[in-house]
């Protein structure tokens, strides 16, 4: 190839690359494809940008296609459905998946399960988190009161028997766990009220709305959301909040306001 032909071929290639680079550089944010995991304020920290390379003929910088890591919620969840293989004396410890204690009718514990209990009738770790949440809600001019925290197996049995006698079987089976299936035995669950609402009326209070927006920042999630009775075995309880830790609570909340622990851990 003559010197003139080589020069023409090089110039043509530079024009083509320059046009492609200009098109990439001019892509607006609205036109750009969404990055998975970037919704709801999540930062695309999992994306690793490739090393940029500069084209000598145009100076346009091109980047390699970024690789996308799993979202935080997916990274913390089990990849397959966990299996509860405890039997007999093993029921003296709770079924635990990825650090989250699961106690329900499907995953009961025996009377021998007795966690260490501190303030607010919660485990020391949960109590510390609740105290921080209580301080935060008081700064917002609101008030939260603890109705019930830890209950032993025997106490749950007495409550269940009493509710059967006074409220009937239909109510009791919907709202009261059988002995060994209550989260209150874990010391990680707390029933709350406000000055203006208790029980089902709690949903009409400012405290309830605050919890829905901020509880996950302190490690708490709504344990029995509305419309999820088939998954949890318990009816809608706006007063019942469960401590799972800040990282896990945020991951659950990122999947949706009414996502259950069963759904998050792929148990349902």
Contact 244, 221 (CB under 8 A): yes
- Give the three-class secondary structure for 115: coil
Decide if 194 contacts 225 (C-beta within 8 A).
no
Which residues are identified as catalytic? 237
The answer to whether the beta carbons of residues 224 and 235 sit under 8 Å apart is yes
Q: What span, in angstroms and rounded, lies between the C-alpha atoms of 219 and 91?
A: 26
Q: Is 193 strand, coil or helix?
A: strand
Q: Where are the beta strands (DSSP E) in the chain?
A: 53-54, 61-62, 95-97, 100-102, 145-148, 189-193, 220-222, 240-243
Give the three-class secondary structure for 102: strand
Distance in angstroms (rounded) separating the CA atoms of residues 185 and 164: 19
The span from the first CA to the last CA of the chain, in angstroms, equals: 69
DSSP characters over 59-105: --EE-PPPB-PPPHHHHHS-SS-------GGGGGS-EEETTEEE-SS
């Amino acid at each position: 190839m003559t010197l003139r032909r080589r020069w023409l071929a090089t110039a043509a290639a530079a024009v083509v690359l320059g046009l492609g680079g200009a098109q990439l550089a001019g892509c607006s944010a609205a036109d750009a494809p969404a990055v998975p995991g970037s919704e709801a304020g999540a930062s695309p920290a999992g994306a690793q940008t490739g090393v940029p390379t500069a084209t000598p003929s145009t100076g346009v910088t091109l980047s390699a296609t970024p690789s996308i890591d799993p979202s935080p919620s997916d990274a913390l969840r089990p990849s397959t459905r966990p299996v509860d293989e405890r039997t007999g004396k093993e029921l003296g410890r709770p079924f635990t998946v990825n650090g989250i204690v699961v106690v329900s009718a499907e995953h009961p514990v025996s009377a021998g399960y007795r966690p260490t209990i501190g303030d607010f009738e919660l485990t020391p770790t949960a109590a510390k988190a609740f105290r921080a949440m209580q301080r935060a809600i008081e700064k917002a001019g609101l008030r939260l009161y603890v109705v019930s925290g830890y209950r032993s197996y025997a106490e749950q049995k007495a409550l269940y028997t009493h509710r059967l006698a006074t409220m009937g079987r239909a109510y009791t089976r919907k709202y009261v766990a059988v002995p060994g299936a209550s989260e209150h035995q874990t010391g990680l669950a707390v029933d709350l009220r406000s000055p203006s609402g208790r029980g089902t009326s709690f949903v009409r209070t400012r405290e309830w709305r605050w919890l829905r927006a901020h509880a996950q920042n302190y490690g708490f999630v709504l344990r029995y959301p509305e419309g999820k009775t088939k998954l949890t075995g318990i009816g809608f309880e706006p007063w019942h909040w469960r401590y799972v830790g800040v990282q896990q609570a945020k991951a659950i909340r990122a999947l949706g306001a009414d996502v259950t622990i069963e759904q998050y851990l792929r148990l349902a």
